[in-house]
């Protein structure tokens, strides 16, 4: 009987092994991306017959004042949150990296803990902290003799800050872990040489740690920016984007348009405009931080 050969051409072998991943990647990643691009040119509720409308969705979104409000709010949040969070995470990492600190394990775990909590739970906890009159913050202020009854979530300016601080509390420890890993990878003899030269702690930080941490800083910045662009849970649970759109973020705008108002075509257009924004921000970071290393 003639034997059937099961050997594979060596040149095809890598592709055969990659095939299962590629099939899933095309089906569940590339497919929806392409499909949503097609949908963005239609008027479609997800349940009726889709009608081709060309660039109408994009034009409508572009002319919609709420889109620009959401874009401004999201950019404001992304910039302020990242500035505060990355500064704090860096300072925290440097502190935790200090040889003078005892019980590092405890601090690392404690600072990392908030990221393990689910976002809705965090939002509910902060709702209790910020509660007017009876909240933890109000009680602490009263204890200090400051009888402040602030409506944190009903005040357009304060509501945004409440959400920023909540995110900072949650994210700082997580990104601190990245910086700690970056600091650990810096050769110790560089620090010893600086010590011999009589460099101060500030000089060591600005001239050695920071430049050598730049790749990690760039990574954290891009990751954190992309994730913070996707902010949804906290403002949705606490304020539903209010008061009067003061905490309206692009994700809330997208969710309202797509699911609550049943306009998936326009929702897909919003998501593509968001992607362009995020890509623009990432390119800017890479150019500003990456080219200096070149």
| Chain residues in the site for other proteins (CB under 8 A) | 45-48, 124, 127-128, 131-135, 151, 153-154, 156, 159, 238-245, 256, 259-262, 264
Rounded to whole angstroms, the maximal C-alpha distance in the chain is: 96
Q: How far is the CB of 160 from other proteins (least distance, A)?
A: 12
Tokens of 16: 């055969």
- Which residue's CB is nearer to other proteins, number 217 or number 264? 264
Q: How far is the CB of 258 from other proteins (least distance, A)?
A: 9
- Which residue's CB is nearer to other proteins, number 85 or number 264? 264
DSSP-H helix ranges across the chain: 13-25, 31-39, 56-63, 65-97, 104-112, 119-130, 136-143, 156-184, 188-196, 201-204, 210-212, 214-229, 233-238, 250-255, 264-285, 291-293
Q: How far is the CB of 86 from other proteins (least distance, A)?
A: 29
Q: How far is the CB of 143 from other proteins (least distance, A)?
A: 18
Do residues 78 and 251 touch, judged by C-beta distance below 8 A?
no
Q: How far is the CB of 263 from other proteins (least distance, A)?
A: 9
3-class state of residue 42 by DSSP: strand
- Which residue's CB is nearer to other proteins, number 172 or number 256? 256
- Which residue's CB is nearer to other proteins, number 111 or number 126? 126
- Which residue's CB is nearer to other proteins, number 13 or number 37? 37
């Amino acid at each position: 009987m003639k034997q059937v050969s099961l050997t594979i051409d060596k040149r095809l072998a890598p592709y055969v092994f990659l095939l299962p991943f590629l099939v899933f990647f095309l089906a569940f990643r590339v497919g929806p991306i392409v499909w949503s691009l097609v949908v963005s040119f239609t008027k479609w509720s997800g349940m009726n017959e889709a009608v081709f409308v060309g660039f109408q969705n994009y034009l409508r979104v572009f002319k919609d004042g709420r889109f620009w409000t959401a874009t401004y709010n999201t950019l404001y949040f992304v910039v302020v949150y990242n500035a505060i969070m990355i500064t704090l995470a860096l300072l925290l990492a440097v502190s935790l990296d200090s040889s003078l600190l005892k019980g590092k394990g405890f601090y690392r775990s404690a600072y990392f803990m908030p990221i393990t909590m689910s976002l809705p739970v965090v939002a509910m906890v902060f709702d209790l902290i910020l509660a007017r009159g009876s909240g933890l913050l109000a009680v602490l202020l009263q204890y200090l003799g400051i009888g402040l009854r602030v409506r944190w979530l009903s005040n357009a300016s304060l509501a945004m800050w409440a959400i920023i601080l909540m995110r900072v509390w949650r994210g700082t420890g997580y990104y601190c872990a990245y910086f700690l890993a970056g600091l650990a990878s810096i050769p110790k003899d560089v620090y010893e040489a600086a010590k011999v030269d009589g460099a101060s702690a500030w000089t060591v930080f600005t001239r050695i740690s920071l430049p050598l941490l730049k790749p990690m800083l760039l990574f954290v910045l891009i990751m954190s920016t992309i994730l913070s662009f996707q902010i949804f849970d906290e403002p949705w649970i606490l304020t539903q984007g209010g008061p009067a759109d003061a905490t309206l973020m692009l994700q809330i705008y997208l969710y309202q348009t797509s699911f609550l108002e049943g306009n998936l075509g326009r929702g897909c257009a919003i998501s593509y405009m968001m992607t362009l924004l995020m890509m623009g921000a990432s390119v800017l970071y890479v150019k500003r931080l990456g080219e200096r290393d070149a």
